[in-house]
Amino acid sequence: MDNCIFCKIVRGDIPAKIVYRDETVVAFHDISPAAPIHVLFIPVEHIVKLSELSIDHANLIGEIHVRIAKVAAELGLQDYRVVSNCGESVGQSVFHIHFHLLGGRKMGWPPG
């Protein structure tokens, strides 16, 4: 997608602090971290949001979550939170599906 900021990061058109990448998944530090560790995991494929997934994406989403667990361990996190905001009213601001890995501080529940 030409105008998508995360597709631009995938292509290297705008810089990001890349933590991990392979042919299907890219992980990079959030530009405006909400926790001491805040890494975003995205598929290379432009998918708008969680509610647009189909069963064809099941392996991809599974792979992303296994990768999240590996990167969390590499970053020394034992406890962490994974979030995917689906839709503007719950906080989605970039419409290329992504999973936030948040850790390094105590967090309350439920979220506000």
* Residue nearest to Zn ion according to CB distances in the complex: 4
32 binds, options ligand 5GP, Zn ion, none, Cβ within 5 to 8 A by partner type: ligand 5GP
User: Closest distance between ligand 5GP and the C-beta of residue 78, in Å?
Assistant: 23
Please identify, using beta-carbon distances, which residue of 45 and 59 lies nearer to ligand 5GP: 45
List phi, psi (to 5°) of 42: -130, 150
Out of 29, 38, 46, 57, which residue is the one contacting Zn ion (CB under 5 A)? 46
93 binds, options ligand 5GP, Zn ion, none, Cβ within 5 to 8 A by partner type: ligand 5GP
d(CA 26, CA 110): 28
Show the tokens assigned to 29: 């530090």
Residue 57 annotated among the catalytic residues of the structure: no
Which residues face 64 on adjacent strands? Answer: none
Mention every residue, 6+ apart, whose C-beta is less than 8 A from residue 90.
none
